[in-house]
Each structure stands twice: as C-alpha cells, then as structure tokens.
Structure 1
C-alpha cells in the first residue's frame, strides 16, 4: 500500500509558504522561486519536470508520470502565486514565517494554495513508487490570481489534450465542489471635457454618466437574482463595482476629462454570458464605453462522473462519511481547463473555504495530510479503467 511521507509533506509546505511568491515586479517578487522549489522537489522524486514560461518570469512546472499499464489520465493542478499579504502589521503571525502553532501552519498562501500544491505532489509521489495504471500529470502553474496566464499557456502547449479529468487542489474545507461560478470582468470608460469646477457649464462631467451605469448594475443584479434565484451550490448572481477612477491628476476644483470603473460579475449556470453582456452594454449612457476584459464560464461536472465517485469513495474511506457537495464561489484555473480543453474538473483541497486572502491565513496540518491521502486513494480508483 502506498504511503505518504507526512513529515516531508509538512516540511515542503512550510518551505513553500516561506517564499513570498506574490507577483509584484516593483518589489522584485515573482513566482519563480516557488516554481524552482517545486521543480527541484520533483527532480528529487526522480521525475523529469518541464519548466515553461507562461510570460517572462512566470514559469509553469509540469511533470508527467506514466503508469505500467493502460488507464485514464488524471491531472492534479495547483498554482504557485499568492495574493499580497497587505499590511504586515495587521497580522499576528509573520505572513511568510510558516509558523506551526497548535496544529495550524500560518502564512500567506498556506491555504490558497500551497497546501494543495504540497498535497498533490506527495500524493503523486506515493502512487508513483508503486505499480499503477494510466498516467498522472502534476502541474504547478503561474498567475491563477491574475489573468490565469499559466493555465492558458498549459492548455495552449497541449498538456491538457489527453487528460480525462482534473482535480483542482484549491482550499474548499473538505467540500467536493462540482460547480463553480462564471466570472466576467468589465471596464467601463466615460468620456467628458475638462473644465474649472466653478464653471461646469464649460465642460462635460463624465462622473454622472458613470454613476448612472453603476446604479443600473445594482438594478440588473436584483433582476438576475429574481429571475434565477439562489443556486443550490453556488448561491446568488452578483454584479459588483470594484474600482472607480476620475481625474488625472485628481483635483477638487477640476472637472475631469474622463472617468472609468471596473465591475466584477459572478454568475450561476443559468445565466447566458452573451445575453448578460448585451444587457450591460444597453445600459451604457452616451459617451460610455464597455470593454470585456475577461469572460470565464461557469463549470458543472455531473455528480455521477467517475472522478466524482472516486473522490467520494476516497473521502469516505478517510473520514468515515461521504463528503458534502459544494460550489466554488470564485473562479479557478479549472475554468480554463473546462472552457478551452473540455476537461471535466472537481475542486477539492486542504484549507478553509473562506480563509483565502485573509489576514492570518492558515491551514490545519491534519487537513493537509488527510487531503494528500484522499488524492492518493482517488487516483488509485480513477486511473483504473475498470472503475466506471
């Protein structure tokens, strides 16, 4: 029976958390050191990882492990980038100290999602040390927290072409997530004409037009929620303004010549994105232009899919009860795997579902090691073609 080296898994995860893999070129920070640690660890396992840049200084690390007889191909997927730690003074622990206190490993990215990366690596290692059917691809990718350049490059290079299904190892609090929300990121620009604040009749203020659009977003959100209700796994549809800028430079006594806002739209599977974008465009007043920055669909994997059933069996074996089905409130790299490569996905991994991006982020060590065991048992079941 394959066994996971739990002590080595914890040490690796600590080491990974200590790397501040925030993408912040002004601070000289990138995912590169984290990717190097992942690649070095894979080589220590006897694997032959490929390191490929999705963008300059933003490497993906991919390893393919071939089994001894025919079977399915399973992808374990995670990302090496983390969001900013923010103000370190707000933390009660060192954001990149990887301290272990009372069974919890603290640090930015501990849950989202360096614990998932560690768990998938050590689960695949344990399986690879014994005879197994099929093939495993292990991918630690860049830029999940941004525009998902890593997974887009992964798909573009053909790595997902032969994958039968994927586990996205994001923190979900032991929920088996078979659905995730769609995401549309929008920028809205309003044009005006500069003038003195004391003489507004000589200018055209872009701010009221932009505010009219944003007010319409609130009304449209209410309409969507009334039309589609609350999704059983994903909750409500949301249209959320997130950025507002006017004036460059900003001066209280100057009417700006332009203003813009960003809007983050999150959808459930019943919402048609093309129709929704058309409704948003129709709301734009004169001199307001809407640009779609990114459009990521919802994903749904049937509850009777072989990977879902394999994960149910593995979770129940380790926990003594079946997992709770859930949905991912945000978007993951799995969105791109689903959209661009038609790979069925499930999202399951160590860490609380709501802890990501928060101060004093942590992962429980028991959750880390148990998730690795679940990955191992899931792979053993799913890779066998006779399991259906």
Structure 2
C-alpha cells in the first residue's frame, strides 16, 4: 500500500523540532516561540488558515484549520511542543537535544513527549486534505502543557472551541494504547499557621511542625480509605494522594520555631472519586489538626483537573480503534493516561470528547535518554490518517482532488534565527 504522506518529511520535522530546546527556564521568556514559528510556516506553506495567539509572553498557541469540500464533522488533532528540563545533561548517553536517528530511534528530549506526535498529526492532516475529505480538521499546538496548561485553557475559552468540534485526538505517547480515560489531578497547598518563638522558649510560640507530622499521617490514612472505597480502575490503576513538597523554617536559623509550615499535595484521581467531597475531607482534616494544636489552617487549590472518561463507543474513539486495527493488523488495546493531558482541559472547560494516542513509549516521558522509534512515528501517522478519514468521510468531489498517492510537501527549512531565543 502506498503511503499518502512523505515519511521522510515527518521524520525531518520531528528532528527539527527536537533540536529546538523549548524548555521552560527561569528568566527565559521565549519557550515555544521558535518551534511554533516552524510549525506556523509549515502550515502556511500548505495554504491552511493559521492563527498564532500568545497566551503568555513567549508562549503562543498555533492553530491551523483545514476545510473539506462539504460540511460534516470537525476533528481536532492536538499537541504541544514545550518540554521538561533534561536534568543532569551528563547523565544522558547522547546530547539531550540531538534529534539524530540511531539504530531506528530518534533521540532527544521531547522526541516522544511529544514532538513526534505533533509532526505526525500535521502530516496526517495534510495527507487527508490531499486525498480529499468532508468536514473540517483543526490542528492545535497549544502552549504550556507541561505547566498549568494555559494554552489549552485559552483555546477552550475561544469561539473556535465552541464552533462544533466533534472529537479530539491528543497525540501524546501512549505506547500503542488508545486511551479514552485519564486520571484527574488536584494540586493543593495546605498551610498551618502558628506563632514564631525562640527555640529555647517554645512555650511562647505555637510550633506548626508537630501538627504537620500529624497531618501527613492523616493524609496517608485518607489515601488508604479512599483507595479502598473506589478500588482499582481497569485502565488507570489506583487513587493516589501524594505529598510532594514540605516547607517550614530556615536552615540557617536552627534556634527559631517557625511561624508556618506548608505541604503541597499531588492528588491523582480516578472516575468515582468526587473532587468536591475529597477537598472537603482534606480541609476538615487540616482544620481539625490545626485546632487541636492551637493553630490555623488554610487549604488552597492550585489546579483541579477531573478525570476524563470518554465513552469507548464515542465516534472519535471508535475511529481510532478501527484505524489502529486496519493499519497495524493487530487488535486495538484500550488503556488509560496515568497523568493529565491538554485533553483533560478541553474536556473539562469545553465539553469536548477527547482520546489520547500517539508515538512513543507510555512511560518514557520526562526520563533521561528519551527516544521514539522511527517506525512508531510512521505507524501513528498512518493511523491518524485512517482515523480522520473514517471519522470525517472521504470527500465526494473526487474530480477536484489530487491523486491519493500525492505526497505531502516537505516542511520548509527552519528560519535561520528560529532557535536564538530558546535558551
């Protein structure tokens, strides 16, 4: 079977994106900008309707719209190009932003999470356009996925999100699994407020640290109780309530009882866990422990992302299942996203049906020596094409369509100054 796309161009675009270090670095404003400049240029070269909107300084959303021949469904492909830090560069066995292909693997930070997915979805949309289709394709590269998902929140509040998007494929790495469900996440801060005092005169103060120890033990028991009550989800596993950061006192002032202590929590929920009820239990626990110790407590919700539970028979899921089976010759495997994606926000804020599927290993994101199999990129591109054609329908104006084997044009050369501000 002849591919509808230029495989070499997909790999070349992935390499170009990986070689741009789009890492969030303190003091550096430009994060996605150089990669988004390349993506926008690629989309414009195809004649797509392209918009670029900054959701924060140096954090643009790039959205391309491809119109079919007749009104029908709208399918959105979604991804991001911001990446987490490589950490200790010396611990890598190759340069973190290599982009080289070695032994069939494309190497570098962001190769799997998720610049290969972005390249695959762009070229898939182009191939579907060249073959002819009905409906509309939206290709969204949204900012700040690795942070507070500002790009997804901005898009979800836009008129385009409310214009009738019938399904969203989030092209994150899932190791070949089709993930219609994703864990929810609550980021919390709990502050216990006491009274500062001299370490030699603790009776004059109210120390929040012993109470913090009680709170941590209470949270551990709450995690056990909730986990026992909801059980283990077949795709998402267990409920987690994890303290991640503790802050109190000054290491340079060992003789001072601190006035306050804080704990930050990363809560990962599954369907069946009500976020409002859980937040109420955590707040009651903190307030009771604080009251018993003569302290006050405050609970701050930093972000609240509910679980995604798209029905397995939703059209966008069914299209992916059929496409995966047709392209790979193997039955599709349904799975779950252990974290959250931009799809979580698109579902929560815009009510869109989302499903996650893309090239790369399921557990490789944010690790050292990140890579993606070249064959996986090409396979996912084929699946995206087949899923889009199934979901949207093939255009009926076949006389105006170019031959189905017409390859997508290679991406334009990277602008000479595109990477200067990436840091």
Query: Which TM bucket (shorter chain)?
Result: over 0.9
Measure the CA separation in 1 of the matches of 2:36 and 2:332: 31
Over residues 308-363 of structure 1, what are the superposed CA-to-partner deviations in whole Å (9 max), with x where a residue is unaligned?
11111111111111211000010111111111111111100000000000011111
Cα separation, 1, equivalents of 2:56 and 2:322: 39
Question: 1:96-175, aligned counterparts within 5 Å?
Answer: 96-161=97-162, 162-175=164-177
Given that 1:183 and 1:298 are in contact with CA atoms closer than 8 Å, whether structure 2 keeps it comes out as yes
**CA distance in structure 2 between the aligned counterparts of 1:164 and 1:248, rounded to whole angstroms:** 53
Aligned partner of residue 133 in structure 1, secondary structure:
coil
1:382 Cα offset (Å): 0.2
Q: 2:394 and 2:93 mapped to 1: Cα distance? A: 49
The equivalent of 1:75 in structure 2 is 76
User: Displacement, 1:251?
Assistant: 2.6
Counting only pairs closer than 5 Å after superposition, residues 350-365 of structure 1 correspond to structure 2 as: 350-365=359-374
1:361-372 → structure 2 map (5 Å cutoff):
361-372=370-381
Of 180, 183, 187, the residue aligned with 1:181 is 183
Q: 2:341 aligns with which of 332, 339, 342?
A: 332
Q: Deviations over 1:14-57 (max 9, x none)?
A: 11011111122425551111111111111222223100011122
C-alpha separation in 1, matches of 2:145 and 2:369: 21
Q: Which moved more, 1:228-237 or 1:24-33?
A: 24-33
The reply on whether 1:374 has 2:383 as its aligned counterpart is yes
Aligned to 1:290: 299
1:10 aligns with 2:11: yes
- The answer (yes or no) to whether the contact 2:180–2:336 under 8 Å persists in 1 is yes
In 1, Cα distance between equivalents of 2:68 and 2:133: 5
- Give me the TM-score of the superposition, normalised by structure 2: 0.88
1:222-371 mapped onto 2 (5 Å cutoff): 222-248=224-250, 250-284=252-286, 285-286=289-290, 287-371=296-380
Report the Cα offset of residue 130 of structure 1.
2.6
RMSD: 1.5
SS in 2 for 1:336: helix
C-alpha distance in structure 2 between counterparts of 1:250 and 1:325, whole Å:
52
1:250 CA displacement: 4.6
Distance 1:376 1:385, change over 3 A: closer
Kept in 1: contact 2:4–2:131 (CA 8 A): no
Larger Rg: 2
Instruction: Determine helix, strand or coil for the equivalent of 1:39.
Output: helix
Q: Distance in 2 between matches of 1:373 and 1:2?
A: 8
Alignment check: 8 A CA contact 2:109 2:370 kept:
yes
The count of aligned residue pairs is 386
Measured after TM superposition, the shift of residue 70 of structure 1 is 2.1
Partner of 2:204: 202
Unaligned runs of 5+ in 2: 291-295, 396-423
C-alpha distance in 2, partners of 1:150/1:131? Answer: 30
Give CA-to-partner distance per residue, 1:66-120, whole Å, 9 cap, x none: 1001210000000111111111011111111112111111111111111111110
**1:316 match: secondary structure:** helix
TM-score normalised by the chain length of structure 1: 0.96
* 2-structure distance, mates of 1:48, 1:133: 17
